[in-house]
Amino acid sequence: MSMNLIQFQPGLSMPEFLRKYGTESRCRRALYRARWPMGFRCPACGDRRRSSFRRGAQTIYQCRACQHQSTLISGTLLQDTKLPLTTWFMAIHLLTSTKTNMAALELKRHLGISYRAAWRSNMTRSCKR
């Protein structure tokens, strides 16, 4: 019987995942690099110059050209979330590292979030296919 190489692709183990994305600041840095790989770019005008300030727990990025204010998650699927990024990153990891679909109830148990939030994140995955 031949070995299916697709099934044996290296994945990110849970210890590796936690080392890379185990804190809010690590998730924020990873998301920042993914969203703006060449550095900040204003979503309204494309200018790269910005200032930043804190509003509560959020960092607000303000474009120096047009004064548009954005956050790391504004305009993304995570825009209105109340969950920490660590929970989202863990959900994405769990959903993408399983060979079979993960039920919302299973996700709820793994992440300690509400069924509704788990269902929504599972729907987010389904919609991206």
Instruction: List residues near Zn ion by CB under 5 A.
Output: 42, 44-45, 47, 63, 65-66, 68
d(Cα 3, Cα 64) in Å, to the nearest integer? Answer: 56
Contact 42, 63 (CB under 8 A): yes
Instruction: Please list the residues that pair with 69 across neighbouring strands.
Output: 62
Of residues 50 and 93, the one with the C-beta less far from Zn ion: 50
CA 55, chain centre distance (Å): 20
d(Cα 105, Cα 109) in Å, to the nearest integer? Answer: 6
Q: How far is the CB of 112 from Zn ion (least distance, A)?
A: 38
Of residues 32 and 40, the one with the C-beta less far from Zn ion: 40
Contact 63, 45 (CB under 8 A): yes
Of residues 64 and 116, the one with the C-beta less far from Zn ion: 64
Of residues 66 and 105, the one with the C-beta less far from Zn ion: 66
For residue 76, which of 117, 128, 112 has the smallest C-alpha distance? Answer: 128
Q: How far is the CB of 35 from Zn ion (least distance, A)?
A: 15
Q: How far is the CB of 62 from Zn ion (least distance, A)?
A: 9
Q: How far is the CB of 92 from Zn ion (least distance, A)?
A: 29
